[in-house]
Structure 1
Amino acid sequence: MIEKRSPWVGDLIHDEDADRRGIVTDVRGGTLWVLRPEHGVDQWTSESPERLTLLEARQS
């Protein structure tokens, strides 16, 4: 089930702009989300958290 809340570190997301799934690794200054792919190595950023769809929240 997809929840409606802002994604945060450790959450699995779908980035609509990049059309890829990933995990939030950092949020810098509340304006820049650093993301990595679910599998493999790479990194990209997003300045639009409203374009990140939360797929699965990190387990606490």
Structure 2
Amino acid sequence: MSGADTAWVGDLVHDEDTGRRGIVTDVRGGSMWVLRPEFGTGRWTSRAPERLTVLMPRERMSQES
């Protein structure tokens, strides 16, 4: 679930390591975050959730769509 400090599935985030915005699509084993671009296709992973800044939590994302 979304918290103030930790990105979770459905959250729009900024990945500080890649300089990209994306949506968290999966958290595997509690140690690998899978992200897809906010727009377009593709995906990447992050093993540093502390480097993912939540821009819009999942709850607000569903209200905006």
Q: TM-score, normalised to structure 2's length?
A: 0.84
Q: Deviations over 1:2-54 (max 9, x none)?
A: x8320000000000000000000000000000000000001000000000000
Check if 1:34 corresponds to 2:34.
yes
Q: Counterparts of 2:5 and 2:35 in 1: how far apart (Å)?
A: 17
Q: SS where residue 50 of structure 1 aligns?
A: helix
Figure out how many residues of one structure are paired with residues of the other and give that number: 58
SS of residue paired to 2:50 = helix
Instruction: For structure 1, list consecutive stretches of 5 or more residues without a partner in the other structure.
Output: none
Q: 2:24 matched to which residue of 1?
A: 24
| Structure 2: gaps spanning 5 or more residues | none
Q: Distance in 2 between matches of 1:30 and 1:13?
A: 17
Aligned alpha-carbon RMSD (Å): 1.4
| Structure of greater relative contact order (alpha carbons < 8 Å, 6+ residues apart) | 1
Tell me which protein shows more helix as a share of its residues: 2
Structure 1 runs of 4+ with >2 Å offset: none
Identical-pair percentage: 66
TM-score where L is the length of structure 1: 0.91
